[in-house]
């Protein structure tokens, strides 16, 4: 995927250089209001802050047996997961170099939290049942998000059909996933979900380039998003108990057409 994105950026640059001899003007820059479409590739992960006793084995308090549900934890991590988004751009011109931008988007983005445990031999109960211990357990948080970013765009003067710009702002994200994806009443301790808040706030910063063509403006953009507040729904489960704070980090590559 990274190679494809690099190829796409090179292709846009090549097209721009081939048309450099013509100084095209795009009417959207002269309008008070302009509109466009946004296509996004996303890589999302969590930053995990652990409790002081995060390594301890987890015991199910409703279970009469004294045996642990999990062994001691060696590591908790969140590997980046890809996602995709599609949005609609609304831009308000303030001055020649400043614009106010809103890009409501629908985003499909899963995130993973991985737990690595110490290895342990299976336990055999008196009734003949055997309890095995997994060395690694991954908890997937599936999300269908409606995102509403509000940003201020600072752009350079147009030179040879190109502008560079910086973007700063914030967004609200709302999870549209159905309740059944987080309903785990009656499930065993190992089948409990790791739950996060249905809505959260993030800061954003981005760098991009506006490339002007005869009938369209194309803008590749790289954006970083960070959620400062804890998004974890804390509960007494094997997967939420070791975590003190969970915040989301997201890298987004966008192609914007106006």
Q: Which two tokens stand for residue 77?
A: 């991590």
Of the two residues 240 and 123, the one the predictor is more confident about is 240
**DSSP state, residue 156:** P
Above pLDDT 90, what percent of the chain?
Answer: 55
**222 confidence band (pLDDT: 50, 70, 90):** very high
**DSSP state, residue 58:** -
> Which structural domain range is residue 91 located in?
2-257
Q: Which two tokens stand for residue 24?
A: 């095209």
Distance (Å, whole) CA 141 – CA 196: 8
- Say how many domains are in the chain: 1
Of 104, 40, 39, the C-alpha closest to 252 is: 40
Predicted TM-score (pTM) above 0.85: no
Bridge partners of 83?
A: 42, 109
Q: Which two tokens stand for residue 80?
A: 């980046």
**65 confidence band (pLDDT: 50, 70, 90):** low
**3 state SS of 237:** coil
Name the phi and psi angles at 94, rounded to 5.
-100, -55
Q: What is the per-residue pLDDT across 82-100, written as a single tens digit (0 to 9) for each?
A: 999 999 999 999 988 999 9
Asked if residue 111 lies in contact with residue 44, where contact means CB atoms within 8 angstroms, the answer is yes
Q: Which two tokens stand for residue 168?
A: 């700063």
* Average pLDDT across the chain, whole number: 85
**DSSP state, residue 18:** H
- Parallel, antiparallel, or unpaired for β 162-175 and 98-102? unpaired
**Domain containing residue 177: CATH number:** 2.40.160.20
Distance (Å, whole) CA 225 – CA 66: 44
Q: What is the per-residue pLDDT across 105-117, written as a single tens digit (0 to 9) for each?
A: 999 988 999 999 9
Asked if residue 41 lies in contact with residue 87, where contact means CB atoms within 8 angstroms, the answer is no
Name the phi and psi angles at 12, rounded to 5.
-65, -45
**258 confidence band (pLDDT: 50, 70, 90):** confident
């Amino acid at each position: 995927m990274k190679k494809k994105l690099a190829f796409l950026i090179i292709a846009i640059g090549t097209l721009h250089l081939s048309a450099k001899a013509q100084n095209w003007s795009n009417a959207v820059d002269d309008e008070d209001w302009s509109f466009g479409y946004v296509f996004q590739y996303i890589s999302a992960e969590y930053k995990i802050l652990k409790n002081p006793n995060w390594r301890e084995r987890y015991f199910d308090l409703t279970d009469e047996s004294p045996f642990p549900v999990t062994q001691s934890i060696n590591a908790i991590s969140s590997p980046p997961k890809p996602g995709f988004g599609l949005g609609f751009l609304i831009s308000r011109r303030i001055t020649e170099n400043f614009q106010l931008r809103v890009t409501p988007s629908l985003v499909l983005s899963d995130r993973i939290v991985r737990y690595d445990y110490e290895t342990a031999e299976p336990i055999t109960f008196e009734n003949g049942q055997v309890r095995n211990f997994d060395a690694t357990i991954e908890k997937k948080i599936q999300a269908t998000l409606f995102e509403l970013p509000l940003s201020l765009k600072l752009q350079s003067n147009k030179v040879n059909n190109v502008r560079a710009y910086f973007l700063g702002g914030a967004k609200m994200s709302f999870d549209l996933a159905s309740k059944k994806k987080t309903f785990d009443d009656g499930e065993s301790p190992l089948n409990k979900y790791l739950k996060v808040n249905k809505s959260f706030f993030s800061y954003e910063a981005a760098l991009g380039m506006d490339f002007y063509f005869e009938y369209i403006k194309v803008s590749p953009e790289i954006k970083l998003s960070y959620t400062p507040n804890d998004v974890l729904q804390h509960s007494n489960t094997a997967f939420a108990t070791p975590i003190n704070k969970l915040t989301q980090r997201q890298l987004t590559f966008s192609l914007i057409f106006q």
